[in-house]
């Protein structure tokens, strides 16, 4: 039985020893996991695809004040559930705005175009769960590299997205 969000912080590190809970199950600490910077956002994986036999990947996303996700998209291979931890992010899902504050959650179903922004003057953090675990840290590393190489090269960013099971949203028409 899961008793807290800390129970989800299970990720084996090659250089870390597992501790064991009262039942003898291995528990891995993620406090040393790499934080991946993608544009203004910071992402830290708590459960990677291999850790869950591909059933789910779990990550925290830190969204600074007045920032947004670089590229709205959809995905056909997984659902993404988001749970607010701190601050408020405004998600646009199929052109409908949904505020995710601490304790609120939303599930983005397969095929729904979505993105998010932090309109507030304070930072926000949310927990995201992708099920099944189609992508992991390598996606965020590759997007970060593409953005660093050429922030306006949307074709390069779109190629990374497609390679990891995401479909870039078509440009908005006015």
Residue 62 lies in a domain: yes
Query: Residue 106 belongs to what domain range?
Result: 34-168
| pLDDT tens by residue, the chain, 174 residues | 333 344 333 333 333 344 555 665 656 555 556 899 998 999 999 999 999 999 999 999 999 999 998 789 999 999 999 999 999 999 999 999 999 999 999 999 999 999 999 999 999 999 999 999 998 999 999 999 998 998 888 899 999 999 999 999 987 655
The CATH number that applies at residue 91 is 2.60.120.10
- pLDDT score, position 13: 38
Residue 24 lies in a domain: no
Residue 22 lies in a domain: no
Whether the predicted model's global pTM rises above the 0.75 cut: yes
Q: Total domain count for the chain?
A: 1
CA–CA separation, 71 and 47 (whole Å): 23
Residue 39 lies in a domain: yes
- pLDDT score, position 69: 87
- pLDDT score, position 16: 35
- pLDDT score, position 34: 87
Residue 12 lies in a domain: no
Residue 121 lies in a domain: yes
- pLDDT score, position 4: 37
Residue 173 lies in a domain: no
Residue 21 lies in a domain: no
């Amino acid at each position: 039985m899961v008793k807290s969000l800390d129970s989800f912080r299970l990720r084996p590190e090659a250089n870390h020893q597992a501790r064991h809970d009262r039942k003898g199950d291995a528990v891995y600490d993620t406090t040393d996991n790499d934080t991946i910077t993608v544009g203004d956002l910071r992402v830290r994986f708590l459960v990677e695809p291999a850790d869950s036999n591909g059933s789910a990947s779990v990550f925290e996303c830190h969204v600074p004040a007045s920032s947004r996700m670089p590229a709205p998209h959809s995905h056909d291979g997984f659902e993404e559930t988001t749970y607010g931890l701190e601050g408020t992010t405004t998600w646009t899902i199929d052109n409908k705005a949904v505020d995710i504050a601490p304790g609120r959650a939303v599930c983005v179903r397969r095929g729904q175009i979505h993105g998010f922004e932090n309109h507030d003057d304070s930072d926000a953090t949310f927990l995201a769960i992708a099920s099944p675990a189609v992508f992991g840290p390598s996606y965020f590393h590759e997007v970060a590299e593409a953005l660093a190489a050429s922030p306006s090269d949307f074709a390069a960013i779109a190629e990374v997205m497609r390679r990891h099971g995401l479909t870039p949203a078509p440009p908005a028409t006015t």
